[in-house]
């Protein structure tokens, strides 16, 4: 019989899950970035990893990369610059000859799109949020899909990070519709790239304490309530459970999964009323 101790002491990642797989991970800024946990977990699972960053964030990403083992190279890629995305694809081909998987961990909305500005944010700001946070998934997929192995050779996998866009949240404002668009882009990419054997999925993470989260007004209240109300509880300082789910989706274990939004949120999304209501 399997005791609680057996379950909780199980290793978080199977060592060979991504053995020899070539992975491109966007979005590492600080060691608290969700992408950092993903890159770290992917390396532990045997993958070769390349990171991307952009503009002034490059220095910070390179500093964070030095905490990974082995230290991965960081390529410059602003996801709104198709030329830079194409250059990264060319560099990946030059180094590795192909690519097995990529992680889209990029999001941004101008300040006036968040924190109560839903009715007043101008289209110019909303357009930036949509381009960086949703359209860029298509840009990335279009440039990287040709690098992925043929269907018969196992195909490839793309994974994006979302914040459950099925409902409206306090203060998240235009990032909500941007994430809804991202989730739809994931489904359309799954449709168009599936015949090539490329799987496209998203992970809907619960609130995690990162730089991006700091820019969301009211984040602290949300994460505190999440910890109280998620059936499994929620540790907002630990991106490990999200990284493990991303690894699963990148791996052959998820070979028949595509167009999916996998919630990694302590079970919060499944409840119609908070824990404790009605007792
Ligand atoms: N932190 C959370 O609570 C949470 C929850 C669910 C989903 N997410 C999503 O996870 C992803 C990663 O965010 P995070 O929370 O780790 O924060 P983070 O601040 O560590 O990462 C956001 C990244 O986006 C990058 N970025 C912004 N604009 C870019 C551009 N034009 N080109 C390239 N990169 C750009 C930043 O450099 C940074 O690395 C985002 O999509 C975010 O919306 C976060």
pTM of the model as a whole: 0.95
Q: Which long-range contacts (CB under 8 A, 24 or more apart) does 210-217 make?
A: 210/29, 210/30, 210/32, 210/33, 210/34, 210/239, 211/29, 211/30, 211/32, 211/33, 212/107, 212/108, 215/111, 215/114, 216/114, 216/115, 216/171, 216/172, 216/175, 217/114, 217/115, 217/116, 217/171
pLDDT at 143: 98
pLDDT along the chain (279 residues), means of 10: 36 74 98 98 98 97 98 98 98 98 98 95 98 98 98 97 97 97 99 98 98 88 94 97 98 98 98 80
Residue 7 Cα, ligand 1 centroid: separation in angstroms?
A: 31
Active site residue 172: yes
Domains of the chain and any CATH numbers: 18-265 (3.40.50.720)
Ligand 1 interacting residues, C-beta cut-off 6 A? 27-30, 33-35, 53-54, 57, 78-80, 105-108, 132, 161-163, 205, 207-208, 210-213
Whose alpha carbon is nearest atom 26 of ligand 1? 106
pLDDT at 196: 97
Residue 132 Cα, ligand 1 centroid: separation in angstroms?
A: 10
Tokens at 101, concatenated: 């998987």
Residue 123 Cα, ligand 1 centroid: separation in angstroms?
A: 21
Active site residue 179: yes
**Active-site residue (options: 138, 172, 223, 268):** 172
């Amino acid at each position: 019989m399997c005791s609680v101790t057996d379950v909780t002491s199980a290793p978080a990642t199977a060592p060979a899950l991504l053995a020899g797989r070539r992975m491109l991970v966007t979005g590492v800024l600080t060691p608290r970035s969700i992408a950092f946990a993903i890159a770290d977990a992917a390396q532990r699972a045997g993958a070769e990893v390349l990171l991307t960053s952009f503009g002034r964030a490059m220095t910070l990403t390179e500093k964070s990369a030095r905490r990974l083992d082995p230290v991965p190279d960081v390529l410059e890629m602003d996801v709104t610059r198709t030329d830079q995305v194409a250059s990264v694809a060319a560099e990946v081909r030059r180094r590795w000859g192909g690519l097995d998987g990529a992680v889209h961990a990029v999001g941004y909305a101008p300040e006036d799109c968040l924190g109560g500005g839903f009715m007043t944010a101008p289209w110019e700001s909303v357009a930036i949020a949509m381009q960086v946070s949703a359209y860029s998934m298509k840009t990335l997929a279009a440039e990287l899909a040709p690098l992925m192995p043929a269907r018969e050779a196992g195909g490839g996998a793309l994974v994006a990070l979302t914040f459950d866009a099925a409902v409206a949240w306090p203060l998240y404002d235009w990032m909500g519709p941007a994430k809804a668009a991202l989730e739809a882009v994931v489904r359309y990419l799954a449709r168009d790239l599936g015949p090539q054997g490329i799987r496209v999925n998203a992970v809907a993470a619960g609130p995690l304490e990162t730089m991006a989260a700091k820019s969301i007004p009211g984040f602290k209240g949300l994460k505190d309530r999440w910890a109280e109300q998620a059936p499994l509880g929620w540790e907002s300082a630990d991106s490990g459970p999200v990284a493990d789910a991303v690894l699963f989706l990148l791996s052959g274990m998820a070979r028949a999964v595509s167009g999916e939004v996998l919630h990694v949120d302590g079970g919060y999304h499944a409840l119609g009323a908070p824990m404790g209501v009605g007792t």
